[in-house]
Amino acid sequence: MPKVNSDILIWARETAGLSEMEAAKKLGLSGPDRLKALESGEREPSRRQLVNMSQKYRRPLLTFYLPTPPKESDKGQDFRTLPEATTPGSNALLDALLRDIHVRQGLVRSALDEAEDDEPLHFVGSYRMGDGIDAVVTNMRDVLGFSVEDFRARRTVTDAFAALRRATEKAGVFVLLMGNLGTHHTNVDTRMFRGFALADEVAPFIVINENDSRAAWSFTLLHELAHIFLGQTGISGYDGEAEIEKFCDSVAGLFLLNPSELVGIIRRENTGLEEIVRRIGAFASAGNLSRKMVAYNLLRFGHIDSGTYREISAVFDADRIASAKDDSEHSGTPNYYTVRRHRIGPELVAFVKRMVADGTLSTTKAGQVLGVKATAVNRLIDNVSTA
């Protein structure tokens, strides 16, 4: 067995966001001194210990046999404006999630190349910010064949999102719901990650943090789709201060909402915060919209000031956190495969089924694309139409 570079052990632990004490506990070691002996080169790790580290640090086993720590791959641009306080280890979780997304997309792209089904999508990177918000929105509606009337006609926000997702996937963009690395213990805070766009012209991906409110998913999808139309790969958060984030927020907002509809939500008389929140909530609910999106557009078009927007946002953020906690405590145990299909998206599931049937994807690679064990692939794609 080749000798392990102890620098790799330190790098793998630190990029997993773990202290020596935390890592020793996760690895089942008697204490941090045992880990220090491994990381200093004083003791050579056994294969069993390396397998354990691979699992706990979320790195491929082969990584530990490299001569030096690998360079991080380019995961795209970071469009976020991060809050001052973030959850410990959240950056490491997010890095692992982004690596997972890139692996999945790379396998999809390779399968399309092998199947000679890799015709470029004309809309990826077809616009620049200088073309203006209206132009991007108009073309997005044309590409999707989907209007605000289609969106509003749905019975619930979940149905509205499903319809928008279906239109986006038919246009050639895979849309995934991912908020963790497979368990709720690895949930990534929505303040750290709202959405991710991978602007590949053959196999573009949009990833939405499923820990966000369902009402916000559609807005995030359109925000990330705007990045794809601009040809930009990167990660987005909430309330981004960068001009590109404001541009994509405005595209998403205009797609779902005509500015003229905002007139009258906030009246000229002195209205308290509680009443403003109530009126925004009623308007948003009637149109399958996110309350925060409506508030953002009220700010953008001068109906409220930035101070009021911050106060309203704080209320909505607190409600979202409380709602997510309540859902977690009262949720039942839905069918595993139903949940997985929903998160992966119908188009990607159908694509994998087709590629497995053609022999283009092995069940092992199909499992990587779907985020499940190879043994679960056939059951997951069973009874899924590939038409």
What are the 10-residue block averages of pLDDT along the chain, 387 residues in total?
82 82 91 92 91 84 80 71 62 82 92 92 96 97 96 96 97 95 81 93 96 93 98 89 91 94 79 90 95 92 91 88 62 77 94 94 92 92 74
Distance CA 265, CA 342 (A): 35
Angle subtended at Cα 299 by Cα 293 and Cα 301, rounded to the nearest 5 degrees: 105
Which residue type occupies 59? R
pLDDT at 2: 63
For residue 198, the cross-strand partners are 205
| Chain centroid to CA 76 | 14
Q: Tell me whether residue 345 is exposed, middle or buried, using C-beta atoms within 10 angstroms of its C-beta: 0 to 12, 13 to 18, 19 or more.
A: buried
Distance CA 296, CA 249 (A): 9
Is residue 234 a contact partner of residue 208, using CB atoms and an 8 Å limit? no
Whether pTM > 0.95 for this model: the answer is no
Give the number of other Cβ atoms within 10 Å of residue 135's Cβ.
14
Domain ranges across the chain: 6-65, 77-256, 262-327, 336-381
Arch. (CATH architecture) of 6-65: Orthogonal Bundle (1.10)
pLDDT at 186: 80
Residue 290's H or E segment, with its range, is none
pLDDT at 204: 98
Q: Tell me whether residue 263 is exposed, middle or buried, using C-beta atoms within 10 angstroms of its C-beta: 0 to 12, 13 to 18, 19 or more.
A: exposed
The beta strand positions in the chain, using DSSP E, are 77-78, 174-177, 195-198, 205-208, 234-236
